[in-house]
Amino acid sequence: MAGTRRFEGYGVLVTGAARGIGAATARRLAAEGARVLVTDVDEDAARETASEIPGAEALRCDVADPASVEAAVAYAVKAFGGLDVLVNNAFAPVVPDHELFEDDPDDSWTGQLDVTLMGAVRCSRAALPHLAAAGGRGAIVSIGSVNAEADFGNHAYSAAKAGLASFTRTLAGDAAPRGVRVNQINPGTVATRGWAGREADLAALGSRAYPLGRVGTPEDIAAAVAFLASRDAAWITGTVLRVDGGLLAVNRHFGEIMND
């Protein structure tokens, strides 16, 4: 990455960027020349993260609120003179499933769908006219999950991420004639603050479930975002890229059983 300036002159908006994957993505794109708007529902945390990134700005944005989304996009366009890249990273907190599926209440679904799926829809809708005016470098990258592709529990979260993958494909077709690429990344387990205090669990999970021997880092995902958002991926749209350490490609447990 040293010396690479793929995003020189770009304006970028990242949602859910106060911490974790969003913050790492903001840092990575800024390091490659972008001016980044760090948005999050936690305004104080967003401002703290932005203060550590040269040229970055921060703004509170609730992706469940259309007016808040419109304001964030307008702020980015005014601050940066345009918008070239949108990273849809915001998602609702994951609520554990009940033991029986039929005991899951509606609000555990509607809350997840409204933020994780519809939040990306709102942001993409607001950003698209500006991305289309970006001279062929407009790009949307959404952060999904391996939960969209296999059963790892969390029904509502998984369904929302699967819906996001479908939205990515359909929006790609709609946006392509306007010079905007739309892609998604499906991470496996990533060591974020949600795992604080469970480092031993992460190490065990990495060594037992992941062929590459570890779980991911926010920087692993940020690197993939940087690729898909850049002109290096100029002929890639409508794709869902797994960044999962081989989790879905290799069934470790099956192999262990067969070799016993």
Buried/exposed code over 218-234 (b: 16+ C-beta within 10 A; e: otherwise): bebbbebbbbbbbeebe
More confident: 104 or 254: 104
Annotated catalytic residue: which of 10, 78, 157, 210?
157
Annotated catalytic residue: which of 10, 78, 161, 210?
161
Average pLDDT over residues 99-107: 82
pLDDT per position as a tens digit, 203-219? 999 999 999 999 999 99
**pLDDT for 14:** 98
H/E element holding 183?
A: strand 181-187
Q: Is the pLDDT of residue 2 over 70?
A: no
**pLDDT for 256:** 66
- 210 catalytic per annotation: no
- 78 catalytic per annotation: no
- Confirm if 61 and 72 have CB atoms less than 8 A apart: yes
Question: Structural domain boundaries of the chain?
Answer: 11-258
pLDDT per position as a tens digit, 142-184? 999 999 999 998 999 999 999 999 999 999 999 999 999 999 9
Average pLDDT over residues 240-250: 96
- Confirm if 190 and 215 have CB atoms less than 8 A apart: yes
Q: Which CATH architecture has domain 11-258?
A: 3-Layer(aba) Sandwich (3.40)
- The overall average pLDDT reported for the chain is 94
pLDDT per position as a tens digit, 5-56? 999 999 999 999 999 999 999 999 999 999 999 999 999 999 999 999 999 9
Q: Is the pLDDT of residue 259 over 80?
A: no
Partners of 242 in the beta sheet?
A: 186
Q: Rg for the chain (alpha carbons), in Å?
A: 18
Q: pTM score, two decimals?
A: 0.94
